[in-house]
Chains A and B, each alone.
Chain A
Amino acid sequence: SAVISQKPSRDICQRGTSLTIQCQVDSQVTMMFWYRQQPGQSLTLIATANQGSEATYESGFVIDKFPISRPNLTFSTLTVSNMSPEDSSIYLCSAGTGLGYGYTFGSGTRLTVV
């Protein structure tokens, strides 16, 4: 299965700033997703990163706040914009070629906004 490198692994940011998280997959994948996980909680899907087109966002998440890029079949970025303390969370990238093969997840980016 694919291996994901997610960077940075953690960061502490000032409110009002933006952070871009990178997700690099070691092989071409058809599907890439971004999730958020609050401490002690389950994962919530933010959006599906579509190659060559705009991402598909879940209810409660908007492009202006979480712009996503996916320039090719191995790379995606998630930006958390105009951050507030409520954005403190773990952000995870996921990728795969199909549910039948299992999806791979990155180790996550632990974001703290102060």
Chain B
Amino acid sequence: DAKTTQPNSMESNEEEPVHLPCNHSTISGTDYIHWYRQLPSQGPEYVIHGLTSNVNNRMASLAIAEDRKSSTLILHRATLRDAAVYYCILSPAVAYSGAGSYQLTFGKGTKLSVIP
């Protein structure tokens, strides 16, 4: 599986936007980019995913570089509840074919601290 690189930690002020970067220079043309986050003492939760185009949902936006070698998770207005470890994960397109199971492989992620 292609590897992702994320900063170990980041800080943000409450109510300000947060841009969490992820480098994936060895991404293949069919790899999807996923983001999950893990709040303290909880299991991870799905945030967003995308392939080539930028994606938006109620939780966040995902901006994908044109060459797809990097992506950025954008939290538009950080709250204290957004303090978590954020994981950027790649998965091959075959995982979407419905043929068998495909597991998520977690890296170290970025620990986001939100300052009141």
Interface residues of chain A, those whose CB is within 8 Å of chain B, are 1, 4, 30-31, 33, 35, 42-45, 48, 50, 56, 92, 94, 98-100, 102-108
**SS of B interface (majority):** loop
Q: Are A107 and B96 in contact (CB under 8 A)?
A: no
Interface residues of chain B, those whose CB is within 8 Å of chain A, are 32, 34, 36, 41-46, 49, 87, 91, 95-96, 98, 101-109
Q: Which of A43, A106, A107 contacts B106 (CB 8 A)?
A: A43
Most buried by B among A33, A94, A105, A108: A105
Chain A residues, CB < 8 A from B43: 4, 92, 94, 105-108
Chain A residues, CB < 8 A from B44: 43, 92, 94, 105
What separation, in Å, do the CA atoms of A92 and B48 have in the docked complex? 21
Given A98-B96, A99-B49, A105-B44; A42-B106 close (CB under 8 Å): yes
